[in-house]
């Protein structure tokens, strides 16, 4: 309605524009409602198409990631195949027996450590005593 007014009259009519526009919308509401109802399916189709596009994009990304992972896995398998065979021949029973032996010998190792410390202290005292004996003999 305002678009048809000449430019000089638009300035005067600008104060009335919201009122005129809202009355225009109110008068044409049944037409707008019919148009919206008739074209609602296009909006829904657009949303559906957007959803499918997003789904296809996700599937493309998933496919690219799967291809990259498959390539990496194949490369790692080739590297593994080129490695020499492991010389280790331990079985689960051998490992369990070795762990059990370590567990049983732990108190003996702890005792050996404490005896070694005592031995070091006794050797130090013996050396000090030998030095004091030499000093005593030298002073006579």
Q: pLDDT of 75-84, one tens digit each?
A: 999 999 999 9
Indicate the SS3 state at residue 28.
Answer: coil
State the average pLDDT for the chain. 85
* CA distance readout (Å), 72 to 58, 82, 85: 21, 15, 22
CA-CA distance, 100 to 104, in Å (whole number)?
6
Mean pLDDT over 69-74 rounds to 98
Closest to 24 (Cα-Cα) out of 5, 50, 46: 5
pLDDT band for position 115 (50/70/90)? Answer: very high
Contact 2, 13 (CB under 8 A): yes
pLDDT band for position 140 (50/70/90)? Answer: confident
* CA distance readout (Å), 130 to 74, 123, 125: 72, 10, 9
Indicate the SS3 state at residue 119.
Answer: helix
pLDDT higher at 19 or 93: 93
The tens digit of pLDDT for each residue in 18-41 reads 555 566 666 778 888 888 888 888
pLDDT given for residue 15 in this prediction: 52
Mean pLDDT over 113-125 rounds to 94
Contact 52, 33 (CB under 8 A): no
pLDDT given for residue 107 in this prediction: 94
Contact 32, 25 (CB under 8 A): yes
The two tokens of residue 65 are 């990631």
**Whether residue 86 has pLDDT greater than 50:** yes
């Amino acid at each position: 309605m305002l678009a048809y007014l000449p430019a000089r009259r638009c300035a005067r009519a600008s104060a009335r524009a919201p009122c005129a526009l809202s009355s225009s919308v109110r008068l044409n509401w049944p037409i707008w409602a019919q148009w919206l109802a008739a074209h609602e399916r296009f909006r829904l189709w657009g949303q559906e198409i957007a959803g499918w596009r997003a789904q296809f994009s996700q599937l493309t990304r998933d496919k690219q990631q799967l291809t990259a992972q498959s390539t990496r896995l194949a490369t790692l398998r080739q590297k593994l195949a080129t490695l020499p065979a492991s010389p280790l021949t331990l079985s689960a029973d051998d490992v369990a027996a070795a762990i059990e032996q370590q567990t049983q010998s732990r108190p003996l190792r702890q005792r050996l450590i404490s005896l070694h410390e005592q031995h070091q202290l006794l050797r130090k005292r013996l050396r000090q005593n030998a030095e004091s004996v030499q000093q005593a003999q030298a002073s006579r």
